[in-house]
Amino acid sequence: MLAALIEWLSASGLTAWAGSGRVYPIANVAHLLGLVLLLGGIGIVDLRLMGLLQALPAATLTRALTPFAITGFVLMLLSGSTMFAADAASLIASPTFRWKLAIIAVALANAAAFRWLLRPGIEGSGAGRALSAGVSLGAWLTVAVLGRMIAYS
């Protein structure tokens, strides 16, 4: 199935387009901007839920910063897909890239669990919220590090 995807990308011209000297650098910068929005938004919320920044109301922070985090994630998804299209064959073979995808899945599952199971009464404290926030922050930071390490693996 992955071989078929790589073959389709090459045949469609997306590999050549995404790997061009104009598109790839723009996608790379957009990916970095997305990372800043994602980590800047959700990271502050996570720190608050882990017990830091107690003077700031968690509900207010969540309402204000989650849209930035979601925008960052969408930007990373679009730009990451473009960068993947440029070099799908070598990325598929990279254990670092595969780990990055696995940790993204963990981070998204954690976010869904938080949203549906823990979010009501966000101002309350609790080990579940702090643990979920710690997993979130750790997972997204790991994704960022793995993303940077792909070039060296």
SS (H, E, C) 68-117: HHHHHHHHHHHHHHHHHHHCHHHHHHCHHHHHHHHHHHHHHHHHHHHHHH
Sequence spans of domains, the chain: 2-152
Burial of residue 56 (CB within 10 Å: 0-12, 13-18, 19+) is middle
pLDDT at 3: 72
pTM: 0.84
- Measured from the Cβ of residue 53, the count of other Cβ atoms closer than 10 Å reads 14
Query: Could you tell me if 112 and 139 are in contact, meaning their C-beta atoms sit under 8 angstroms apart?
Result: no
In this structure, which amino acid lies at residue 111?
A
Please provide the DSSP assignment of 48-69 as one string.
HHTT--TTS-HHHHHHHHHHHH
In tens digits, the chain (153 residues) has pLDDT values of 667 877 777 778 777 777 778 999 999 999 999 999 999 999 999 999 888 988 888 888 888 999 999 999 999 999 999 999 888 888 988 999 999 999 999 999 999 888 777 655 555 556 778 888 999 999 999 999 999 999 888
pLDDT at 73: 96
Element (H or E) spanning 121, and its range?
Answer: none
pLDDT at 8: 79
